[in-house]
Chain A
Amino acid sequence: MTPPPAEPVAALIRPPPVARDSQVNRDLLRVMDGVSVGYFGVLALALGFMFAAGGVWIYQVYKGLGIAGYAHPIFWGSYIVTFVFWVGIAHAGTLISAILYLFRAKWRNAINRSAEAMTVFAVLTAAQFLGIHVGRIWKSYFILPYPNQRALWVNFKSPLLWDTFAITTYATISIVFFYVGLIPDLAIARDRSTGWRRALYTVLSLGWEGTSRQWKSHNRTVLHLSGLATPLVLSVHSVVSWDFAMSIVPTWHATIFAPYFVAGAIFSGFAMVLTMMIPVRRIYGLEHIITDYHFENMSRFLLLTSLIVGYAYCAEYFIAWYSGVEAEQTSFWSRAFGPYWISTWVMISCNAIFPQILWFKKARTHVPTLFVLSVLINIGMWFERYVIIIGGLSREYDPAVWGTYTPQWTELIIVAGSFGFFCQFFLMFLKVFPVVAIAEVKEIEIHARAHGEGH
């Protein structure tokens, strides 16, 4: 099989053999059929974590943020760490859907749906933490520039305000993108389902009939949305990084932060896609659609972003040394050898050292290795944010008030609950929407048939 000549990125990649269309439809829609005990078990676990976190959160609103581990001067803790973590996770989806779409990397079709879904869910999860973290959730609407009688306005100089806009914009675009991509598949699902599903899909598929005119409009919309979303992939995490880089906290105040955070976000996003899709593929037997070939490509992305992140780690230390700023040096020294040294070395090992095995094809194609590695990367990326936020705040300019922060069980439950929150969305998604973009997968198949040989 030779690659399609017109597409340069795709030219690097051998498209995999694809099952026949009816088979694709059946396989992918089968995922949505029926629920097993195992599924319920996992869903119950996710919901359990979510409700436990909800309970703790209500207690926190009632009692005050004091139930978390905050200690002067470390006023941002696990909540912001987890917020940044989820924003990072939210990056893979748009990257895969938008940027790889623009680059015509057709292999993305097998994973883009789940990645987009993850994006939406991760953004929603991240947004929870903006509310969980603030001292007065009941007044948090102050952050919106709504017209009011008292002529109170918001501070457009504050990175937190930019953050609010960035996150809401990103959430909007992600949801629209996700939904637009879903329409043809919803129509397929509509045609093959009965009962409430049929009613639901009828409404959601917006009367899709698969005419060439509709396809033309659809493709054009996706193209334009990709164009809109592409800068967002870069901007959202840049803005999140500016929450830190715009401050004067030693170790935060660095120009490297935006690219560093974006690379880290893509890194963690791809890792999360792997973490989620490897079990899904196995459980629902989608090996012929999401193939090792896809995983290998994602591994290459992981390796690339791991190198960028690793470079950023080195650059930070180099600049601390090179700048001659004592506070900066002390803070970085403390990061590596101070009270948070474990977190730092977890971060460096998981994010910069372990992924180096991906230089080997054997590792890239060995799914269990990839799964373990992706989990490690997720852990490492959570700790990266932990190290940056807690480490930075713990060693600032005034040595008399250096502090240490230890997360409390309350906030750890909320952090765990955020995974439950994310997973229950994903689990429901598996049962309600096609987990793989059927239409796009078929497109590849048709492509392959048209240009390929041996059929």
Chain B
Amino acid sequence: MSEIDRREFLKIVGVGAGAAAAAGCYRYSELPEKLIPYVIQDEEIIPGLPVIYASTCQECSAGCGVHVRTRESRPIKLEGNPQHPINRGSLCARGQAGIGRTYHPDRYVGPLQRGSDGAFAKTTWDDAQHTVAARIAAAQGKVAVLGAPTGPALSRLIDAWLAAVGGGSRVVYEPFAREALREATSAVFGVASEPIFDLEGCDLVIDFGADSVGGSGRSPVEHARQLMAARDVAKEEGRASRLVYVGPRLDETASVADEWLPAKPGSEGVLALAVARVAFETRSKGAPGSEASLQGVLAGFSPESAAERTGVSADAIRRLGRAVAAAKKAVALPPGVALTSRRAVATNAAVLVLDVVAGAVGTSLHIPPATETRVASFRDAVKLIDAMKSGDVKVLLVHGGANPVHTLPPDSGFTAALEKVGTVVSFASLPDETSERAHFVLPDHTPLESWGDAAPRPGVRSLVQPTIRPLFDTQALGDSLLGIARAMGDGVAGSLPAGSFRGVVESAWSGTSLRAALERGGEFGEGSYASPSLSASLARIEWREPQLEGEGEFVLLPVPSPLLGDGSGAHLPWLQETPDPITKITWQSWAEISERAAASLGVRPGDVLKVETPFGSLEVPVWPRGGIRDDVIAVAIGQGHTVGRYAAVQTPDGSSAPRGVNVISVLPSLTDEAGGRAWLAAKARVRAAGRFERLPFTQETDDKRGRMLGEAISLVALAEGGPSPWAPNQAAAVVDHGTPITGAAAAATPLGEVAPGEHAGEGDKHHEPEILRAYDAVADSLPTDPFRWGMTIDVDRCTGCSACVVACSIENNVPIVGETQVKRARIMSWLRIERYVGTGEPTLQPARPGPQNHEELGKTDVRNSPMLCQHCGAAPCEPVCPVLATYHSPSGLNGMIYNRCIGTRYCSNNCPYKVRRFNWYDYQIETWPQPQPLMLNPDVTVRAQGVMEKCTFCIQRIQAGRLLAKTEGNATPADGAVKTACQQTCPTGAIHFGNLKDEKSEVREAAAQGAGRAYHALHDLNTRPAITYLARVRREGEDHSA
């Protein structure tokens, strides 16, 4: 993945100066509805071949590099930039879905001005800029700019512009800003910057509620990749690597952790210090010379006292402390948003102290030099609101998708203050709650239409470049600002750059070869980091647990949604429809409480709870789980929008109702010690509201009933070597539902090879049922065909992040069906991630309708098992189709001919994996409102009403790879040249794809490496799948039930 291959390289075409400007001046909305062939062929565009541009993902602040795959000048897919040091070719679910912003049907199609009747009216850019300019001039410096963090070029322009128009305040508003971490770094190391964590090669990672590999993590793609690489069980070091999770809730990271310590929310700092103390004492026995200041800090935190304060046993703390001391490379990750309490600085500092003790500083924890930080603290936002209330802000400019109306708590008074502002100018490209309250909307381009840059960390500079002519009459924010300045006269504009915002970006990169940077995606060098020592201010930190507001019996845990982020993702239907990695709920809000708490409240899944805090109340359906503390109620942030085709619920009468609940509406606007926003701040009183709402979930039970799906093997059994306990000729040795008997006498059977004795010992083997014998997956294609396509999926590496699900949907034009249809189990995704907990018991239980959850507090036996078409060698779907619409291809693929399908649906009934989806409606019409059809992949048929569809192993990519190989004079594409969409985006490299007939192929290599834990899903059905799963590895770790 690290290297870009030749084929890819050829297709990457940097945008030269002329390319974008040369293509004419029409906009999508004015296009003639005719297909016209090129009269003069564009040099760079070959119809049928993608042109790829390097850019930067703007969905969150991690700054991942993307390759924008365009076809005939339209971006159709985002993929990670393999050269980019942060994401190395992968993208998360949010990044994959980001392409939908450009083609969003709700987009503002041109500048709007609120008329005297209170409704938006169309205006022209010229008029709008002049009117806004006049208002700014009249405001005499009482101007404020509120917006999301931007790239350095734009940020500098905004500052310069603000100075030029007469001054004003600027608040860089990021709901999930990590101010507490920056403050803590300042307190511990004396450097006010946000540390960068590098999990590469770590043999002990302690995640204090950061959910580092989950979608809500700091840099989830990077951390998931590093963590899973460090835990590679094929390597000795990987087997020794451990992940420990501290947090009240079994989230994505906890699900893949080896040990989960469900500490009391808010007590993570105490736990960190106690662990640090044990580690410190253990280590200093051997290595004297410990620092006195640390000793002072740690003195008060004995394992016993910490056990009492955190609810984690003293034994566990001691063991963890000793593990930290023994680890070669350990790192502790400070809490994420959900655990950012009013004592967040102390908690973060405590975790950093543990990092110091663990020796992480400089190895796995890097502290960038303090920079003039642009992200304002929550306190600054509050100051701005006060200014707005008192009339000190005449003109407010909101940009960058910032949506404070939705993301600020109601008691901050922002919405009321907004009404006091005479002129609110929004630069949103999609309508949201804030832009709908603005007086002017000067719509920005989407990132795919814009120039820009990003500087995610020292040494890494990344570029954003336009990949499509703007679809609508929009204008880049930078150009709008320059336009306003020019409208204010030369006196204002004179101090600003001439020309367009593109020129601003280009001049910001003037010292480099811009063309090379555009081809690469930016400049990727090594950063220089500070090497600080402990700061004296450490002693001043008060190590206390936070007080929570309210009298309720539950701690209200607002969890960032792994898919929707702070709510900006709610506008993207792919993210709404992708099941939550933990609960498998789509399109809605839910409240997680423990099953015990649910029983005492007398509620069952879907019963509505009334959640009351001193700051408000909301009603939300409950989702009881085993994997959450009894004293915690968790509600995801991100839903509750009232504006947006997908973000809100569209009622038949044309109005829109909130979709789900906005948990921020019951949170206080409290701050931590240093003025950052406190999320973990309230207690809630919870009672049953007496209503029921059917939640749109896609998986009802997490009990696999001992069936061969989502398997796990203990590290001890794996280390003993020998063949997989699930290998075909070992099936008889599997007893006790998945507990493998290892050390069986039978020789290892490399996957895909005929078991010894299958032919030789035919005579005495023939009485065995065929399913007990090894099979040759390679034989399931024509001998004359050079291919048998197959896949290896490592369940041990799957975090459940669902990036593959979104990537698959976008690559294959999978329709979005919406909440009502999801409730009727008609979700169309070709790939789903099944989440099983434990081995399950095949006992017959009395019927208990409704969802079932088998999680247990302190246990992490979760298996995320991606399920897609297995492309069986003996596919049950094939013989039952009366019209041969599904058939076996010469390359062993299980093909699907949409044109031939008459929709008897027998194939799906006979598919044991249930991966087939049926077009119940004409989704071509129903789910692709204009201009979304522009993003359809032209290589993939859009399926008609009444036909079956399913995963094709991205047959279009296979064909493209074969054709390209042929044009290059090769018989077959090189191994790894064909990547499926799911494989391409997987941050942890859990999916391998390739030709099983190629003995050296990556897919066989991966299966061979994992031979000790390889299995085929539902093997005993003898379907001979082309997908080999590698079982999750249970490293030894103890259960810590609170």
Interface residues of A (CB under 8 A from B): 63-66, 69-73, 75-76, 133-136, 139-140, 142-143, 152-155, 157-161, 164, 243, 246-249, 326-327, 329-330, 333-334, 337-339, 341, 393, 396-404
Contact = CB atoms under 8 A, between A and B. Distances in A.
B881 A155 contact: yes
B180 interface: no
B85 to A, nearest CB: 36
B507 interface: no
Contacts of B904: 133-135, 160
Contact of B903 (A65, A243, A337, A397): A65
A160 B844 contact: no
A401 B902 contact: no
Given A73-B914, A76-B909, A337-B847, A248 B945 contact: no
Contact of B847 (A76, A339, A398): A339
B604 interface: no
Contacts of B704: 399-400
Given A64-B921, A75-B905, A399-B705, A155 B882 contact: yes
Given A65-B946, A247-B876, A338-B849, 20 more contacts: A63-B922, A70-B824, A71-B825, A72-B918, A75-B908, A76-B909, A134-B904, A154-B883, A155-B884, A159-B880, A160-B904, A327-B707, A397-B914, A399-B709, A399-B840, A400-B699, A400-B835, A400-B836, A401-B699, A402-B701
A72 B827 contact: yes
26 contacts: A64-B919, A64-B946, A65-B920, A69-B824, A70-B824, A72-B825, A76-B909, A139-B901, A139-B902, A143-B883, A152-B883, A155-B884, A158-B906, A160-B904, A164-B882, A247-B906, A247-B910, A333-B844, A334-B847, A341-B847, A397-B707, A398-B707, A399-B701, A400-B867, A402-B701, A403-B700
Contacts of A329: 842, 844
Contacts of B879: 155, 157-158
Contacts of B919: 64, 135
A147 B842 CA distance: 51
B900 interface: yes
Q: For A72, A140, A396, which residue has the most chain B Cβ atoms within 10 angstroms?
A: A72
B842 to A, nearest CB: 4
Q: For B700, B834, B906, which residue has the most chain A Cβ atoms within 10 angstroms?
A: B906
Interface in B884-911: 884, 900-906, 908-910
Contacts of A76: 905, 909
Given A73-B908, A143-B882, A135 B901 contact: yes
B992 to A, nearest CB: 22
A403 B945 CA distance: 22
B847 A66 contact: no
A337 B835 CA distance: 25
A398 B834 contact: yes
Contact of B902 (A140, A159, A249): A140
Contacts of B947: 135-136
Nearest to B737: A326
Contacts of A63: 921-922
Interface in B115-167: none
Q: For A69, A133, A327, which residue has the most chain B Cβ atoms within 10 angstroms?
A: A327
B826 interface: yes
A66 B883 contact: no
Given A157-B879, A339-B849, A249 B699 contact: no
Contacts of B834: 398, 400-401
Nearest to B821: A66
A220 B906 CA distance: 42
Given A152-B900, A330-B844, A246 B880 contact: yes
Q: For B704, B847, B876, B1021, which residue has the most chain A Cβ atoms within 10 angstroms?
A: B847
A71 B825 CA distance: 5
Contacts of B912: 248, 396-398
A397 B1018 contact: yes
A143 B884 CA distance: 9
B920 A158 contact: no
B388 to A, nearest CB: 49
Nearest to A244: B909
5 nearest A-B residue pairs (beta carbon): A135-B903, A135-B946, A66-B920, A75-B905, A71-B825
A134 B883 contact: no
A158 B821 CA distance: 30
Interface string B343-371: 00000000000000000000000000000
Contacts of A393: 909
A69 to B, nearest CB: 8
A153 B884 contact: yes
Contact of A75 (B707, B821, B909, B922): B909
Given A134-B903, A157-B879, A326-B842, A400 B884 contact: no
Contacts of B1018: 397-398
Contacts of B906: 158-160, 243, 247
B918 A75 contact: yes
A329 B918 CA distance: 28
A452 B832 CA distance: 77
A403 B883 contact: no
A65 B901 CA distance: 14
B24 interface: no
B706 interface: yes
Interface in B828-859: 832, 834-836, 840, 842, 844, 846-847, 849
B549 interface: no
B703 interface: yes
Nearest to B910: A247
Contact of B909 (A133, A134, A247): A247
Nearest to B849: A339
Contacts of B917: 72
A158 B885 CA distance: 12
Contacts of B9: none
Contacts of A334: 847
B763 to A, nearest CB: 28
Nearest to B703: A399
A27 B302 CA distance: 105
A135 B918 contact: yes
B26 interface: no
Contact of A142 (B825, B826, B847, B883): B883
A241 to B, nearest CB: 14
Contacts of B707: 326-327, 397-399
A364 B909 CA distance: 42
B824 A396 contact: no
B913 interface: yes
Contact of A158 (B702, B847, B881): B881
B709 A398 contact: yes
A159 B880 CA distance: 6
A451 B554 CA distance: 93
A428 B359 CA distance: 93
B705 A326 contact: yes
A447 B922 CA distance: 65
A334 B876 CA distance: 24
B827 A158 contact: no
B867 A398 contact: yes
Contact of A136 (B844, B913, B945): B945
Contacts of A404: 849
B701 A400 contact: yes
Nearest to A130: B904
Q: For B709, B879, B903, which residue has the most chain A Cβ atoms within 10 angstroms?
A: B903
A71 to B, nearest CB: 4
Interface in B792-827: 821, 824-827
B842 A154 contact: no
A330 B705 CA distance: 9
B832 to A, nearest CB: 8
A329 B832 CA distance: 26
Given A160-B880, A339-B849, A134 B699 contact: no
B882 A401 contact: no
Q: For A75, A140, A152, A400, which residue has the most chain B Cβ atoms within 10 angstroms?
A: A400
A248 B705 contact: no
